[in-house]
Chain A
Amino acid sequence: MMDTIFMLLSGALLIVGAFFYLTGAIGLVRMPDVFTRMQASGISDTVGVGFLIAGMIVAAGPTLIAAKLAIILAVVVFITPVATHALAQAAMHAGIEPVLASPRVLGLGAGLKPLETKPAQAPAKKRAIKKKAGKAAARPVKRASRTKAKTRAVAKGKRS
């Protein structure tokens, strides 16, 4: 009786942990830039690992194995935030700017695209406004400035 309850409990914990772990991994692929990816991997490193190891502790019972699992859980829980914090700090130091949440970002998925399109938009709009008083049509100017901004973004990425 007790055994079945423990088995069911550990199974449920394991499945919840696996779900969260996979969610974090999908976020790791789908998120648009480094900082949001860090946040996504934080899900798996806290909730996912926590539930998985809790499930294993329940399955192991009160033995040395459970103690070792608890040590692993403590190490992971205390150490991953440190690593992620250092990572974020290093990324900021290297000049990577976080892409703030915009409605465009949500539909775009992975890759550097938002990082390129976002600086491309601002100067394009500004120049379009400036040129509106003049004679040039907005569209070719926009495209030209976008490619320029793209090269700038690429150069920036290379520098960082």
Chain B
Amino acid sequence: MFEIATFAVLAALALAVYRALSGPTVFDRVLAANFIGTGAILLLALVGFITGRPEFLDIGILYALLNIIGTLAVLKFWRYGDLSHSGEEEG
């Protein structure tokens, strides 16, 4: 069961990587990065269960918090740092 779930998560990660690479806009990439962060948490938990040592779930919490921090940092930067003009003003 855990193996099946792990393979599903890995396949989902592969699809998300495809989206991150081919995403036409930056927001697709950010979305894929968010998705991959969640997938990394799940992978951590599932691998912990497969190897029989599910003690490292604190790191999963850390990943979740890092995920939101990274996403919000990127978005806030995108919106207020205003880099969408490919650096016309800031040069």
User: Nearest CB to that of A10 among chain B residues?
Assistant: B1
- Which of B27, B41, B85 has the largest count of A CB atoms less than 10 A from its CB? B27
Min CB distance A117 to B, Å, is 14
**Chain A interface size range:** 35 or more
Min CB distance B31 to A, Å, is 6
From the candidates A26, A34, A75, name the one contacting B28 in the complex (CB within 8 A): A34
From the candidates B11, B67, B75, B79, name the one contacting A22 in the complex (CB within 8 A): B11
Are A111 and B11 touching (Cβ within 8 A)? no
Q: Considering the complex, which residues of chain A in the window 1-40 have a beta carbon less than 8 Å from any beta carbon of chain B?
A: 10-11, 14-15, 17-19, 21-22, 24-26, 28-29, 34, 37-38
Contact (A75, B61) CB under 8 Å given A24-B12, A29-B19, A41-B35: yes
From the candidates B11, B30, B60, B71, name the one contacting A72 in the complex (CB within 8 A): B60
A38 to B31 Cα, complex, angstroms: 7
A76 to B57 Cα, complex, angstroms: 13
* A122 contacts chain B at the CB level, 8 A cutoff: no
Interface of A, helix, strand, loop or mixed by DSSP: helix
A127 to B41 Cα, complex, angstroms: 53
Interface of B, helix, strand, loop or mixed by DSSP: helix
A63 to B23 Cα, complex, angstroms: 41
**Chain B interface size range:** 35 or more
Are B42 and A91 touching (Cβ within 8 A)? no
A101 to B5 Cα, complex, angstroms: 32
Q: Considering the complex, which residues of chain B in the window 21-70 have a beta carbon less than 8 Å from any beta carbon of chain A?
A: 22, 24-25, 27-28, 30-32, 34-35, 38, 41-42, 45-46, 49, 54-55, 57-58, 60-61, 64-65, 67-68
30 interchain pairs, CB-CB under 8 A: A15-B4, A15-B5, A18-B4, A21-B8, A22-B12, A25-B12, A28-B19, A28-B32, A34-B28, A44-B35, A44-B38, A49-B38, A52-B5, A56-B49, A59-B2, A68-B58, A68-B61, A72-B45, A79-B65, A80-B34, A82-B72, A86-B76, A87-B27, A91-B27, A94-B84, A96-B27, A111-B24, A115-B24, A157-B24, A160-B25
